[in-house]
Chains A and B, each alone.
Chain A
Amino acid sequence: MQSLSEAFRAAFTLVIDLDPDLIEIVSLSFGITGASLLLATLVGLPFGASLALFRFPGRRPLIVIVNALMGLPPVVVGLVVYLALSRSGPLGGLGWLFTPKAMVVAQFVLITPIVAGLSRQVIEDLWEEYEEQLRSLGATAARALPTLLWDGRFRLVTTVLAGFGRAVGEVGAVIVVGGNIAHSTRVMTTAIALETSKGDLALALGLGLVLLALALGVNALAMLFRELGARVEG
């Protein structure tokens, strides 16, 4: 396919030239996804673990809701966050709309259910394995929470990576709340959308290839850390 070879050539050229616009876009992509991922992990992991360990009224419906929210359509999230952050909306005073902050918020809303839902499953499986022994040692569910989070750290890395993948590759939410403004809120995915709308499919695909390569890099790094970690512990 002609477009595909042109795409590879475009991707290659962009990377070799260290195109400054490309670097800016990539940095912003990673910065925004990184920030939202960090926040989502800080909130989602303990929340998911709590959902696994504690019993309280409404727990079952809450699990169903969290699981359902994992499949939130990005464009819907974008719209809701837009309406919330709009000057005519409840949080308009913050002035975050069409800035990276709004994009972090939107991606946070997208990723947190994923982190919470997947970590709930991980911790639940671990609790099933450990509950009797840990209770025998005198640990309550609350005391066991950090223990299980640490014990399940490798599986939880996969959870976090799932969140990363979802965020770095989505366009529906960030384009609505960010506006795809050059040098301001343009990230890899919205740049791809722009080049597609300009009909420059080769460049769009090229950018897509760069994005894919970067995502591959992140996953490879995570795998490396996992190997190192396992080895260090003997």
Chain B
Amino acid sequence: MGVTGVVVLVLCLLASTAGADAAKTIVVASTTSTVNSGLFDHILPIFHERTGIVVKPLAVGTGQAIRIARRGDADVLFVHDRQSEETFVAEGFGVERHEVMYNDFVIVGPSADPARVGGVSDVALALEQIARARAPFASRGDDSGTHKAELRLWKAAGVDPHPDSGTWYRETGSGQGATLNVAAGMSAYMLSDRGTWLNFKNRRDLRLLVEADARLRNVYGLVLVNPKRHPHVNAGAGQVFIDWLISEEGQEAIGSLELNGESLFTPSARPES
């Protein structure tokens, strides 16, 4: 008797969650920064009202997002690693890359700032100082867009931190938020994207120390998963999403997301791309 009730309840729940019409649903493989910054919470309701399409965003690291898209488990790729995105297209998994927006990375660190990088305008120099001071630095270490950007910056600084992995250079192999928690917990420096940082509530004694270097720009791209490679992909709705994001309305929606008067992302879709 009690069992029948549970069965009915469970079947109803499953039926209701089975809900959305498949033709009007797309899965977007994206990164933690777009989700954790609140971007999707902000723009998706607008898009849904416009088109009736339900977008299901996955917040995983860039590397994982690309692997998911390669397997055909997502319809659209929305990440921030230009090189990987272009390779994705070149290998035939994606149709075309469109730049959509950018934000920037910042270096956050303990307010005590043992490496004295606060206010330094050259990010490569800042990293060099951190390495020399052997100050704790938390790295994503997870093949994500942020991680790859971090590695590029170390290269620019002429430093290879990997031999010191496990001592002052800590690779967490985790997402943005998790790594921020770790950095907060051990008062370490870290490269974070501004959007996630602004939204992050567990800062402890971490402060924003280095910003505005041109090399810290973080560009996001959109790629439709190639229906020729994965026929079941919802290419129609996926393309509608991409077109909207790079349209004036979508770009405005992106740019209007603010926190404490600061814009989290800067729309940057070019008319031709």
Q: Which of A28, A38, A180, A199 contacts B17 (CB 8 A)?
A: A28
Tell me, rounded to whole Å, the shortest Cβ–Cβ distance linking A183 to chain B. Answer: 9
In contact, B13 and A98 (Cβ under 8 angstroms): no
Residues of chain B from 17 to 59 with CB closer than 8 A to chain A in the complex: 17-18, 22, 27, 32, 36, 40-41, 56-59
CB-based contact B202/A201 at 8 Å: yes
- CB distance A38 to B10 under 8 Å? yes
Contact at A88–B71, with CB atoms within 8 Å? Answer: yes
A133 interface hit (Cβ, 8 Å): no
Q: Chain B contact residues: over half helix, strand or loop, or mixed?
A: helix
* Inter-chain contacts of B17 with A (CB < 8 A): 28, 31, 99-100, 184
Q: Is A9 an interface residue (CB 8 A)?
A: no
Interface residue from A89, A179, A200 paired with B56 (Cβ < 8 Å): A179
Q: Which residue on chain A has the smallest CB distance to residue B177? A: A197
| Chain B residue at minimum C-beta to C-beta distance from A96 | B18
Size category of the A interface is 20 to 34
User: Once the chains bind, are A86 and B73 in contact (CB under 8 Å)?
Assistant: yes
Give complex CA distance A200, B3 in Å.
38
Residue of A34, A95, A201 touching B6 (CB-CB under 8 A)? A34
Question: Closest approach, in angstroms, between the C-beta of B133 and any C-beta of chain A?
Answer: 26
Sample of 11 A–B contacts (CB below 8 Å): A31-B14, A34-B6, A34-B13, A35-B11, A38-B10, A87-B71, A87-B230, A194-B36, A196-B177, A199-B202, A201-B201
B: which residues have CB within 8 A of A? 2-3, 6-7, 9-11, 13-14, 17-18, 22, 27, 32, 36, 40-41, 56-59, 70-73, 175-178, 180-181, 184, 199-203, 230, 232
